[in-house]
Amino acid sequence: MQQITDGLRRFRREAFPPRAALFADLAVRHRPGTLFVGCSDSRVVPELITQSEPGELFVVRTAGNLVPPHPAGPDGIAASIEYAVGVLGVSDVVVCGHSGCGAMTALVTGEGLDRLPSVAAWLRHGAGVAAEADPGAADAPVEDRVAAVVRANVVTQLDRLRTHPVVAEALDRRALTLHGWVYDIASGAVEAYDRGTGRFAPLPC
Ligand SMILES: [Zn+2]
C-alpha cells in the first residue's frame, strides 16, 4: 500500500500540475471518444497501451473481457455500455483480449474453478467460445489453445455487444465502429480483427 500512497503523492506533485488545465476542463466536460472493454488483468493498462490522456477512454474491465449478452438483468457492464454509447456518444468501441489471459486459460483447462464458484459462474459467458475454438485439441500446447480461445473470445464479445440495443442502434446510424484487439504482454504488439477476412493481423507500429 505504501507504493500506492507514494504514487498518489507523486501524481499530485508531478503529473497533475502539467495537466491542470485539462483537469479543470474535464471537471465540467466528459466526452470520451472510445469505450474500451478490456480484461481486469493488471498487466493490460488501457491508457498506457493507447497512450491516452484522462477523459479520452471510457473503460470497462471484466475478467476475460467478457460482455454478457443483452438482456442480462441488472448489470453494471450493460449499464456502462448503455451510458458510454447512448449518452456520451462514443464513436468507437474496442474489445481487447490479451496473451496469457487467466480467464481464458481457466476456460481451456478447467483447473481451479471448483474453488471459485463466482469465477466459474462468470466464465459461462465465454464457455461456448472455448468449446468452439478449442474442439478437443487437448494434445496441443496449452499456450496455443489459450491463444486461439483469446482470439475467438474477442470476436464473440463483439457479437455480444451488437445484442445491446443502444449499440445496434448506433451501428445502424453508422455512428459507431467496433474493433477487436489482442494485446501481447511480452512485446506490446496489438493484433486487430478484420471482419472481412475473419482474421487478426498486426496493427502497424
Ligand atoms: Zn485476462
Q: Which residues surround ligand 1, an ion (CB under 5 A)?
A: 39, 41, 101
Residues 190 and 142 in one domain: yes
CB 64 within 8 A of CB 150: no
Distance 17 CA to ligand 1 centre (A): 33
Residues 2 and 61 in one domain: no
Task: Write the pLDDT tens digit of every residue in 119-135.
Answer: 999 998 888 887 777 76
- Assess whether the previous peptide bond of 71 is cis (omega < 30° from 0): yes
Rounded Cα distance, 108 and 100, in Å: 12
Residues 46 and 138 in one domain: yes
Distance 94 CA to ligand 1 centre (A): 15
Residues 22 and 105 in one domain: no
| Domain membership of residue 189 as a residue range | 31-202
CB 55 within 8 A of CB 19: no
Residues 161 and 183 in one domain: yes
Residues 19 and 90 in one domain: no
Query: 27, 77, 79, 96: which is closest to 55 by C-alpha?
Result: 27
Q: Residue 72: pLDDT band by 50, 70, 90 thresholds? A: low
CB 93 within 8 A of CB 166: no
Task: Write the pLDDT tens digit of every residue in 183-192.
Answer: 999 999 999 9
Distance 102 CA to ligand 1 centre (A): 5
Residues 188 and 97 in one domain: yes
Average pLDDT, the chain: 93
Residues 12 and 87 in one domain: no
Domains contained in the chain, number: 2
Q: Residue 198: pLDDT band by 50, 70, 90 thresholds? A: very high
| Look-up of cell digits 454478457 | 68
Residues 81 and 9 in one domain: no
**Is a pLDDT exceeding 80 seen at residue 52?**
yes
> What CATH number corresponds to the domain at position 73?
3.40.1050.10
Q: Which of 70-74, 81-85, 110-114, 123-127 has the highest mean pLDDT?
A: 81-85
Residues 110 and 178 in one domain: yes
pLDDT at res. 137: 63
**For residues 148-155, average pLDDT:** 95
**Is a pLDDT exceeding 90 seen at residue 73?**
no
